[in-house]
Amino acid sequence: MDAVEIIEGDLVDQIDQRIIELGNDYDFSELKLNDKELLRRMAALTIRLESGEKELEKGIRAKEFDSNEALKEEQRLGLMRRDLVLIQESLGMSRAKRVEKLENNPLAIFIDIKARAKRFLYERFCHIFCPSCHQLIAEIHFSWPEEKSSLTITCGRCKTKTTLTGKEMLKNESENPYK
């Protein structure tokens, strides 16, 4: 294997990693084949732009470039930035879309609130299992259980009646597997 193949393989891995990072912010599930190729081109362009900027900075610090060479390199990087912006616009990728997707979308906010409420409720359930067949027979949420009160539940499978006091229900609540 020669050095060019290693560099190309490394670049492919970097492109794939960049696409995964972008996938955390944007939904790429509905992209067509040509859009996916454009996305790969954008990821490669971003990687080349970042390395070009690092090399330009390093070259300027080491005084390897004269002002004309530095200006030409800066113009080349500027064209790459412009192309990157054009690709992002073509794919509909912008901060406004990302913010809209996460923050301003009422459906996303509702789904998030619903999931948090469900998790909150499951953490506070008292799970009651049948003592003979060990089937879950009740999930109860109570605000103020009194130690003197009692609850009788009949198992739907084996018809065993279970009576629990408020103190036992508090103990069951503390043993909740979802906490």
What's residue 107's pLDDT?
A: 78
For 174, the token pair is 């503390």
Enter the DSSP assignment of 65.
S
d(CA 76, CA 156): 74
The pLDDT value recorded for residue 6 is 44
pLDDT at 5: 45
Indicate the residue type of 114: K
Q: What is the pTM of this model?
A: 0.47
> Does residue 96 have a pLDDT over 70?
no
Q: Which pLDDT does position 4 carry in this prediction?
A: 41
3's tokens: 């050095």
For the CA atoms of the chain, what is the radius of gyration?
30
The full DSSP string for 118-129 is HHHHHHH-EEEE
Enumerate the H helices of 92-144 as residue ranges. Answer: 95-102, 106-124
Q: What pLDDT was estimated at residue 8?
A: 62
H or E stretch including 154? strand 150-154
Higher pLDDT, 26 or 39: 39
Specify which of 3-12, 57-66, 73-82, 162-171 reaches the highest per-range mean pLDDT. Answer: 73-82
CA atoms of 15 and 37, how far apart (whole Å)? 11
Looking at every residue in the chain, the average pLDDT score rounds to 79
pLDDT of residue 3: 41
| Residue percentage of the chain with pLDDT more than 70 | 80
How do the domains of the chain map onto residue ranges? 3-102, 106-174
CB 166 within 8 A of CB 147: yes
Distance CA(149)–CA(101), nearest Å, equals 49
Taking the CA atoms of residue 87, residue 84, residue 41 and residue 18 in that order, the dihedral angle to the nearest 10 degrees is -110
Per-residue model confidence (pLDDT) at position 178? 53
Tell me how crowded residue 116 is: count the other CB atoms within 10 A of its CB. 10
